[in-house]
Amino acid sequence: MGQFIFDLMAEGDYENIVFCQEKTLGLKAIIAIHDTTLGPAAGGIRMWPYASEEDAIKDAVRLARAMTYKNAAAGLDYGGGKIVIIGDPKRDKHEGMLRALARFIHRLGGLYLAGEDVGTTLEDMVVMRQETPYIVTVPESMGGPGDTGFATAFGVFQGIRACLNEVYGSPLPQGRSVAVQGIGSVGKALVKLLVEAGADVTIADIDAERAHALAADYHVIVASPAEIHALAVDVYSPCALGAILNDQTIPELRCKIVCGSANNQLAEGRHGEMLVESGILYAPDYIVNAGGVISGVDSLHPGGFNRQRALDKVAYIYRTMGVVAASAKTQSISTARAAAILAEQRITMIRQVKMI
C-alpha cells in the first residue's frame, strides 16, 4: 500500500497526503494537498461510502489536482486540495466525527482551507467552525458566503453563454435547448437561470420526485437519467457526479456543447480528444464550476465577504471560457488541454515571481 501511495503522489507531483482516524468516533478521512505554489490549498470536504480505502485515496488525489487547476485558472491565489471522509453521510455522519476532523485540519495551521462538498452541508461547516477558523464556507451571519450553490450555477451559466457565443455567434440562451442532468443545489439554481433567460430546459435526476417537483415549478420537461445525455439538444449540462463522459456515452451524445458543474466529467484524459473528434465543444469542468470556490474564498477578504464582489468575479468565467475556446481553436488542441495549459502557465509564472 505504501509503494502505491508514493507512486500515486509522484505521478501527479502531490505535496502531502494526510490520513486521519479516530476509531471511537468512526472517523476515517484523507487530506490530499496537491500544490501550494499559489497559496494555501483550498478545497471541499467530501463524504462518500467508498468501496475501498484505495478508491478513497484515488478520489482524494484526483479531486485535489483538479482544485489546483480550478483555482489557478480562476485567478485565485490558492492551491488545490481535497478531503474525503469514508462513510455514508446519511448514516455515519455526526457532530463528534466532524469536530474531530476539524481538529486535524487545524493542526495544519492554515495549509488547508475547507468548504462543503458532496455529502457535507453548510450546517456541517458551522459545526466544524467551532474547532478551527480554517472552514471558509459558513453562513453570511458568520462572515462567510452561505450556500455556494447559486455561485457555482451562475458560473456554469456564464460558461454556457460563452460556449453558445463560440458555437452559434450569440451568447443568448433564449430559444436554445439545454439538458440538465442532476438537480441538486447547483442544478436547480442553473435551471432557474436558464428558464429565466428563455432556454428550453429538460431535466433528469435519480430522485424522480424531486425532478417532477422542479418541473412543476419551472414548467420544464423531465427525462430519464439514463437517457438525458443522449437527447438532441444544443447543450448537455452534467451537474451530478463525474466520469460521465466516457467510451460509452460520448458516441451517444447529440449535442453541440457540454457544459456542466460536475467535477471530473472526463473519465480519462483522452475523452477530451474524443469530444473534439465528435465536433462537440467541451467546457472543462474546473473552468466553469469555479463559482463556489470563488465565492467561498471571498470571505477571506480583509473586509469580509461581499456577495456582489464575489459574483462579479464569478461572471469573469465567461471571459475565461472564451479564452480557452479560442486557444483550443488556434492551437488545434482540445479545450481540456487548453484549460490545463492556462492553469499551468499561471502556476509557473507565480513560482517564478516567488523566486525574486
Active site residues: 82
Strand runs labelled E in the chain: 16-22, 27-35, 41-48, 79-86, 112-116, 177-181, 200-204, 221-222, 235-238, 257-258, 281-282
Tell me whether strands 281-282 and 257-258 are parallel, antiparallel or unpaired.
parallel
Structural contact between residues 272 and 266, judged by C-beta atoms closer than 8 angstroms: yes
**Backbone torsion region of residue 63, taken as left when φ is above 0, otherwise alpha when ψ lies between -120 and 50, otherwise beta:** alpha
- Beta-strand relationship, 16-22 and 27-35: antiparallel
| d(C-alpha 51, C-alpha 309), whole Å | 41
Is there a contact between 225 and 206 (Cβ–Cβ < 8 Å)?
A: yes
Which of 314, 160, 182 is CA-nearest to residue 238? 182
Distance in angstroms (rounded) separating the CA atoms of residues 55 and 299: 32
- 244 sits in the region (left: phi over 0; alpha: psi -120 to 50; else beta) called alpha
In angstroms, the CA 138 to CA 102 distance is 14
Neighbours of 157 (CB within 10 A): 28
Structure-block grid coordinates of residue 16 = 502531502
All three cell numbers of 263, joined, read 467535477
Cell numbers at residue 114, please? 475547507
Give the span between the Cα atoms of 42 and 58, in whole angstroms.
18
Q: Is 282 helix (H, G, I), strand (E, B) or coil?
A: strand
DSSP 49: -
Q: Which residues pair with 115 in a beta bridge?
A: 44
